[in-house]
Chains A and B, each alone.
Chain A
Amino acid sequence: MATGTVIGRALAPKRFAYTHPKHLQELYELAGGCNLYGRAVRNARDLAELARKHGLPELLIVGNLLESSQELANFCSENGLDRVYGEFGWFPHYTTVHADPVGYAWDSSLCRTKFRSLTPKQRATVTAFRKEHWSTPQNPLPEGIRKPFVFWPLQLIGDRVNKHDLNLADWFEVLLWTRQVIPAEFQLVIKRHPVQQTICREHLYTCLPNTLLLDRSAPLQALIENASGVIGCNSTVLLESRLLFRKPSWAYGRSWYTGHPDLIFPLSLSERPFKLELLWHGIIDQWSLDYGDWFLWQLLARQYSAERARNDPARFLRWINRRSYNSYLRLGDNAFEETDSE
């Protein structure tokens, strides 16, 4: 089995190959990793062909939701390659990367973890992180919003996660159902996605009772903070609302929270929402609060600041090495424990 070479406390970067998207790959290469093939691997057959011509890499960096993800994993196992899955991080999305040993979103290690308790160290980490995020000055709520309201952050309809999960052609069907299952007294506030230009059947959205469609520039944090709850398909905003703002959150689709139905409540187009009473009470019980903090810690343990990776490549290499598949086989959930030293 190929492993990185430890030089003193530092870890020598490996010969690697990667698939699209390449966020994690760029940082790994910057840290000295040898980009063996110079281009992205397309699928398992392509990897086999490249390996035959140029030799095997030591590490495969796999991007999100590839059709051939399982075949690539099989190839790695059969040929003794280590692997790690990665993309952008979560908080904040575009200036961090994440690494996971077993997969992306609903295939990730997060979906296999079980909440038991929150340690004092984990509590301290997430408290500091949440404080940093809450320190942002709040914008006023846009005109037309009437509390109480439920917030729906629209995603891109062509989003890869949507395509691989619900594969909806437009949002109207889920919005129509959502309007029915939310109590009449709660306004449904829909916000366009920041890069969405047009929305299919947009004129119908505003026909729904007690429903408001906001422009894409509407202030996200103010909306989450003032909402009684957040509903969506599988947007990262759901994680933000539940984990950073402790808002009850419901999701139609799968994502990182799959396997944690008491954290972000699953919704379907045929059933009434579970725990709807939280719209009035909020999340107040200690177990649910600790569960959210524990999950936030789990996310933070899997994400890394891109800037920090550029400034301290050796530390980034150690961090990513612990989050590889082989490391996870050896260490289990302890693979994510050394966040402070990294």
Chain B
Amino acid sequence: MRRFDIRFDDGIGPIRRVIERAVHSVSERDFNMIAGIFPPFMPEQSRKIQLTVHVEYALQRRPETVGVATHEGGSANVFHCVAPNDNSEIAASVQELCASVAALMVQFLGSSTLSWSSKSCLGQGLCLSVSRDLYPQAVNVFGHAEQSWLDVRPLFDYVNKPTANSRNPSANGCVMLFLSFLRQMGFGWHQIVLAGLPFDSTPRGIYRILTGDSADPFPPFRETILDELRRSTRYG
């Protein structure tokens, strides 16, 4: 069964077929993977998504916006995205679109949970982290949050002190990287999601449940990030 019902604004042009192919192959595959990271029998896992591709759309007015896509909040299954218009970098643009749609799928599928909803810092961190994992080159989708946290030194500890909502990009960036850190330790997304199910879950609490270690994970996490930064050229 196809999960995506794609609609296009008039005037999208020949890129329409490229988007259609990408969504029906890549995003369909992403949906199955992302649905599998949440506990079974949640209502969103069996619902279809209506994706409308626009020539222009006021994305930034919505708190749910990630990259070039947004949706109508909560468990709404109507997504909106803006079609790429730069034909010279079509592959990167389509990848960015798929990365944005993947992040929205995490928001959509997590909307029945209390801790992973897009309104929480954990939920926003998860959708960015999954998208980053699937599309590491789509920096425009997750890079803003990542850089917001990395730009301020010393690095603030949102692992022990997460914010109550998703409005702080710096906190979202820190949590996104911490969840990726847990992935690098060998934990699956489904394990991470299950460990963080209680409504008052924190990144540190998730670490403790997964590892059984009650030590503060922030110092080793920070060191790993700083070490990666020293070797990375991404941010100069």
* Chain A contact residues, CB within 8 Å of chain B: 172-173, 176, 179-184, 204, 207-210, 272
B194 at the interface (CB under 8 A from A): yes
Closest beta carbon of chain B to A102's beta carbon, Å: 38
Contact call A180/B199, Cβ cutoff below 8 A: yes
B18 within 8 A of A: no
- Chain B interface helix/strand/loop/mixed: loop
In the assembled complex, B73 has its CB within 8 A of some CB on chain A? no
Q: List 10 A-B contacts (CB under 8 A).
A: A172-B41, A176-B39, A176-B197, A181-B114, A184-B198, A184-B202, A204-B39, A207-B194, A208-B197, A209-B194
Contacts of A181 in B (CB 8 A): 114, 198-199
**Complex Cα gap A183–B197 (Å):** 10
User: Using Cβ atoms and an 8 Å threshold, which residues of chain B touch A176?
Assistant: 39, 41, 197
Question: What residue of chain B has the Cβ atom nearest to residue A182's Cβ?
Answer: B198
B200, A184: Cβ atoms closer than 8 Å: yes
A272 and B115 alpha carbons, distance in the complex (Å): 12
When the two chains form their complex, are residues B197 and A180 in contact, meaning their CB atoms are under 8 A apart? yes
Determine if B198 and A179 form an interchain contact, defined as CB atoms under 8 angstroms apart: yes
Which residues of B are at the interface with A, using a C-beta cutoff of 8 A? 39-41, 113-115, 194-202, 205, 209
Say yes or no: B199 contacts A209, CB within 8 Å. no
Determine if B41 and A209 form an interchain contact, defined as CB atoms under 8 angstroms apart.
no
A207: nearest chain-B partner, CB-CB: B194
What's the least CB distance linking A228 to chain B, in Å? 14
- With A172-B41, A184-B205 already in contact, the answer to whether A208 and B194 are too (CB < 8 A) is yes
Q: Could you tell me the distance in whole angstroms from the C-beta of B183 to the nearest C-beta in chain A?
A: 17
Bound state CA distance, A207 and B195, in angstroms? 9
Q: How far is the CA of A183 from the CA of B114 in the complex (A)?
A: 11
| CB neighbours of A179 from chain B (8 A) | 197-198
CA distance A183 to B200 in the complex (A): 6
Least CB distance, B26 to chain A, in whole angstroms: 29
Contact status of A209 and B198, CB under 8 A, knowing A180-B113, A180-B115, A181-B114: yes
Docked pose: A272 CA to B198 CA in angstroms: 11
Q: In the complex, what distance in Å separates the CA atom of A102 from the CA atom of B205?
A: 50
- Pairwise interchain contact A183-B199, C-beta atoms closer than 8 A: yes
The answer on a CB contact under 8 Å between B114 and A180 is yes
How long is the Cα–Cα vector from A241 to B111 in the complex, in angstroms?
33
The smallest C-beta distance from B159 to any residue of chain A, in angstroms, reads 15
Given A173-B41, A176-B39, A180-B115, are A272 and B209 also a contact pair (CB < 8 Å)? no
CA–CA, A298 and B198, complex, Å: 37
Q: Once bound together, how far apart are the Cα atoms of A184 and B196, in whole Å?
A: 8
- What are the residues of chain B within 8 A of A183 when measuring CB–CB? 198-200
Question: Within the complex, which residue of A173, A184, A207 is in contact with B201, where a contact is CB–CB below 8 Å?
Answer: A184
- Nearest chain A CB to B54's CB is how many angstroms away? 33
Residues of chain A lying within 8 A (CB to CB) of residue B199:
180-181, 183, 272
Besides the known contacts A172-B41, A180-B115, A209-B197, 10 further A-B residue pairs in the complex with CB atoms under 8 A apart = A176-B39, A180-B114, A181-B198, A184-B198, A184-B202, A184-B209, A204-B40, A207-B194, A209-B195, A209-B209
Residues of A within 8 A of B209 (CB): 184, 209-210
CB-CB under 8 A from A209, the residues of chain B are 194-198, 209
Contacts of A272 in B (CB 8 A): 114, 199
Distance A256 CA – B194 CA, assembled complex (angstroms): 35
